[in-house]
Structure 1
């Protein structure tokens, strides 16, 4: 069934001695004032990875894959691999229908450019799900680095240390709580659905359920040497009524993390969020707050909110 309601929310990712989203030098990303942040791509990657692995029957196109020689696919390669019967098509409707059959594109959108022998096909899909950069809302931004040793020597014969194993360095954030604001607007997808024509997949109730699930546990699910210690901590999920025209501000303005822990847990104060939502009760269908009860306390949650454990 086609999903037609808008959603606003926030996801908080906890990082303890972890590097949730490194820059190209391997350091946690920082704003000019030193505040640690993460791109929207880091969160999307974790969600896509979860959906690809848990829902193996769903097609996920925008995800790194390799050919038999372990070379990453180009976009054309990925499309041809997923839709071999249409790899040479020049029909924009067929391409639009194909890419809408992919769950990640129905959710996050894409800029798709397919090279043809005589003409190129370009389709811009404005995704219903829009995610902001995640900013650390904890009081500290303590980054530390440590040396690590490789089990292999430097093969450079000119190196003075050619007989010794090489040293590397890794950097991590001591503690952080990244808050990503997000919104879901199914209307964003409708222009491409109309272009694709009859039989094209639209965003559905099932897609939204999978999205909510992926946003709840995708980071915890994805584990690597640098991201060990990064976990989903909170998901705030606000569903508006179908007729609502309400536009909520960025939730980073409406929730605040207290500077002192209580019983070893951080405390998220939702007072401003509760005040804001109370003024629009008639336009809000439901409010859910899922949290990791082992690491965070929720204070002053909205009156009608369903608070549950991740």
Structure 2
């Protein structure tokens, strides 16, 4: 079983693309003199979660939708999985206002999701709040190629935008010539809550 702390890096190459744009559609920039391009840890975690989703693993922090197409809230996502896992998850009795109430054991509940076992989670729904620090912590990915050259490409849509338009819609996309995003990571199995350490054996075999 892997129980030692380790440190490392992984590199993501992005060429003529835009790995982690901000809300202006441009690559994210650090507030330094070179306006260095960077990407958040969330972008790397998204890619890892997508890999697990494609494998059919249970992933809790993932955008899902209701029947009307509206994204589910945190509470709705929790209730959905609570129903799915009700026969698998342990329950415990806690004292609330001098009365004992049976509730889902949250650690046992989140133990069913591979992304939470890796990255942890901050969970706050109503009066229920908890924070789990996962064993795998990832930093921001910083472009070490030292060339930060975003460019804009005009593109045409095959469809018109307005009723009276005689031409199809014009738009644009923003890309960067080349980036090498370098992410640091720390893997510390001691951050696993009691009873969760067996997950490392499964992940690293």
Q: What TM-score comes out, normalization by structure 2 length? A: 0.83
Q: CA deviation at 1:104?
A: 0.3
Choose the corresponding residue for 1:107, options 113, 118, 139. Answer: 118
Aligned to 2:189: 186
Aligned to 1:21: 20
SS of residue in 2 equivalent to 1:153: coil
Matched, 1:45 2:46: yes
**Greater Cα shift, 4-13 or 25-34:** 25-34
Q: CA deviation at 1:5?
A: 1.6
Aligned to 1:147: 154
Distance 1:22 1:92, change over 3 A: farther
Q: CA deviation at 1:110?
A: 0.6
Per-residue Cα deviation, 1:161-197 (whole angstroms, up to 9, x for no partner): 733322111111101111000001111222xx4xxxx
In structure 2, distance between residues paired with 1:12 and 1:201:
29
Q: CA deviation at 1:37?
A: 0.6
In structure 2, distance between residues paired with 1:176 and 1:107:
27
CA contact (8 A) 1:61 1:102 kept: yes
Structure with more relative contact order (C-alpha pairs < 8 Å, separation 6 or more): 2
Matched, 1:167 2:163: no
User: How many correspondences in the alignment?
Assistant: 189
In structure 2, distance between residues paired with 1:150 and 1:144:
19
Q: For residues 2-13 of structure 1, what are the structure 2 equivalents within 5 Å? A: 3-13=2-12
Aligned to 1:248: none
Q: What TM-score comes out, normalization by structure 1 length? A: 0.56
Q: CA deviation at 1:201?
A: 4.0
Matched, 1:97 2:112: no
CA contact (8 A) 2:21 2:28 kept: yes
SS of residue in 1 equivalent to 2:169: strand
Distance 1:208 1:91, change over 3 A: farther
CA contact (8 A) 2:18 2:175 kept: yes
In structure 2, distance between residues paired with 1:80 and 1:18:
38
Per-residue Cα deviation, 1:74-127 (whole angstroms, up to 9, x for no partner): 1111122222038xx875661221112211001000101233xxxx21110111
In structure 2, distance between residues paired with 1:41 and 1:78:
19
Aligned to 2:61: 62
In structure 2, distance between residues paired with 1:83 and 1:103:
16
Aligned to 2:96: none
Which runs of 5 or more structure 1 residues have no equivalent in the other structure?
194-199, 210-310
SS of residue in 1 equivalent to 2:157: strand
RMSD over equivalenced CA pairs, Å: 2.2
CA contact (8 A) 2:20 2:27 kept: yes
